[in-house]
Amino acid sequence: MGLVIGLTGSIATGKSTVSKMIKSFQIPVVDADIISREVVEIGKPAYLQIVDIFGEEVLNEDGTLNRKSLGNIVFKDEDKRGQLNGIVHPEVRKEMVRQRDEYLNNGERAVVLDIPLLFESKLTSYADRTLVVYVDEDTQLKRLMDRDGSSEDEANYRINSQISIKEKARLADAVIDNSGTLESSRTQLQEVLREWGVLNEPDLT
């Protein structure tokens, strides 16, 4: 059976950046963020439940979910976040497991599950190994504000809704420190994948 790697980090520490590098090594990635967008498309069961609970003020004019409005509500309020998670997460988990098993049944040597809330949602049993993408907390705040154009307050609400990146690094089987250059992160990633026996080395014969 192939090796299942749970990839995580905290918001804006570089999980998607590392996930792209993993794909460049021809290792398939199951992306929880993508699935979480698909399950809330107009008319799907999770979408209908969200409208029921949060009302039409979290919708755009075309009926799609207004992610900014919903984010402004749930990142400030733990109870509301719990309600949203309760609607979205079961659907995401089902689809993630389906995709993971499909790759394994097709004989892949490794599959990566890219899950932002791997530790918060206690999903480590879905994977054989955990890999955390780390940056120091000042860099995390700066990259988040730069990427999303958010205020320091908004960024801190999001950061504080997750387990700290230091704690996740302590819980991980391996850590990539992404505070430096992309090249440095890529080298660290290669070392970890090689150690775990899943790096597809170029065939030089």
Ligand X SMILES: Nc1ncnc2c1ncn2[C@@H]1O[C@H](COP(=O)(O)OP(=O)(O)OP(=O)(O)O)[C@@H](O)[C@H]1O
Ligand Y SMILES: CC(C)(COP(=O)(O)OP(=O)(O)OC[C@H]1O[C@@H](n2cnc3c(N)ncnc32)[C@H](O)[C@@H]1O)[C@@H](O)C(=O)NCCC(=O)NCCS
Instruction: Return residues touching ligand Y (CB under 6 A).
Output: 11, 32-33, 36, 67, 70-71, 74, 81, 84-85, 88, 92, 116-117, 158, 161-162
Is residue 91 helix, strand or coil? helix
Does residue 17 interact with ligand X by CB under 6 A?
A: yes
Work out the number of other CB atoms within 10 angstroms of the CB of residue 53: 13
Please state, in angstroms and rounded to a whole number, the distance separating the CA atoms of residues 123 and 146.
Answer: 30
Work out the number of other CB atoms within 10 angstroms of the CB of residue 203: 5
Give residues 120-149 in contact with ligand X (rule: CB under 6 A): 143, 147
- Evaluate whether 110 touches 2 at the Cβ level (below 8 Å): yes
Q: Which does 143 bind (CB under 5 to 8 A by kind): ligand Y, ligand X, none?
A: ligand X
Q: Do the strands 174-177 and 29-31 form a parallel or antiparallel pair, or are they unpaired?
A: unpaired
Q: Which of 72/190 has CB closer to ligand Y?
A: 72
Which among 12-20, 50-58, 83-91, 103-111 is the span making contact with ligand X, rule CB under 6 A?
Answer: 12-20
- Evaluate whether 7 touches 19 at the Cβ level (below 8 Å): yes
Q: How far is the CB of 112 from ligand X (least distance, A)?
A: 13
Out of 2, 28, 71, 116, the only residue in the binding site for ligand X (CB under 6 A) is 116
Any idea what DSSP says for residue 2?
P
Report how far Cα 103 is from the mean position of its chain's Cα atoms: 19
Which positions touch ligand X (CB under 6 A)? 9, 11-17, 33, 116, 143, 147, 178, 181-182, 185
- Annotated binding-site residue numbers for ATP: 12-17
- Annotated binding-site residue numbers: 12-17
